Amino acid sequence: MGPIFSTASEWNYVIALIIGIAFGYILEAAGFSTSRKLAGVFYGYDFVVLRVFFTAALTAMLGLAFFGYFGWLDLDNIYINPYYIGPAIVGGAVMGLGFIIGGFCPGTSVSAAAIGKVDAWFFLGGVLLGALIFDLAYPLYKDFFTGGARGKAMIYEDLGMGKEWFMLVFVIFGIIAFAATAIIQRKVAKRVNKY
């Protein structure tokens, strides 16, 4: 699974396990195992989740760009999932709805379940039930699920921009998002403190 190893190796699984454990620890240490913190994004009182994931996206984007520029990483070796328009829209809507209702995303629910949170166990049960239903009903919507393939689609190409210009716009958008969420969070906190 390049770019760490260019060929299949048993070490890939060891590295994946270590990265997974580290990621779970970081989620828990950041407080993402509480559904209140995650739901705070939708209610406007806590934007830590949005800031952390936005920071991760910006860091990964800029890090990969610099690694590619200096020749430390061949960006062509990075696997990018093929893009399917319809399934991506439906999947995003289902995941977003689940996030709002349950207060977790799949990763944070595993982190919360690992420390014994009951609501996370119910959420994970729903995830597993949903996966089972998805699998059993797959023949009914297989054509939709595999239709509309766009291959290795890149946002900057779809927007008709160069990669460097897209990165600049994304960084500026990130700065604006950080400032805007800070303003929203302060206003919501003032309203809550009135009551």
pLDDT digits (tens, 9 = 90+) for 184-194: 888 887 776 66
Q: Cα(14)–Cα(171) distance, rounded to whole angstroms?
A: 34
Q: What is the DSSP letter of 81?
A: P
Secondary structure of 113-155 in HEC code, one letter for each residue: HHCCCHHHHHHHHHHHHHHHHHHHHHHHHHHHHHCCEEECCCH
Mean pLDDT across the stretch 60-77? 86
- pLDDT at residue 1, rounded to an integer: 44
Is a pLDDT exceeding 70 seen at residue 106? yes
One-letter amino acid of 61 = M
φ and ψ at residue 150, rounded to 5 degrees: -110, -5
Q: Which residue has the higher pLDDT, 147 or 19?
A: 19
Judged by phi (left if over 0) then psi (alpha if -120 to 50, else beta), residue 36 lies in alpha
Is a pLDDT exceeding 90 seen at residue 95? no
- pLDDT at residue 132, rounded to an integer: 95
pLDDT digits (tens, 9 = 90+) for 21-50: 888 888 888 888 888 887 788 888 888 888
The residue whose two tokens read 């939709």 is 144
Instruction: Name the pTM for this structure.
Output: 0.69
Mean pLDDT across the stretch 2-25? 74
Mean pLDDT of the chain: 84
Which sequence spans correspond to the domains of the chain? 50-80+152-195
Is a pLDDT exceeding 90 seen at residue 17? no
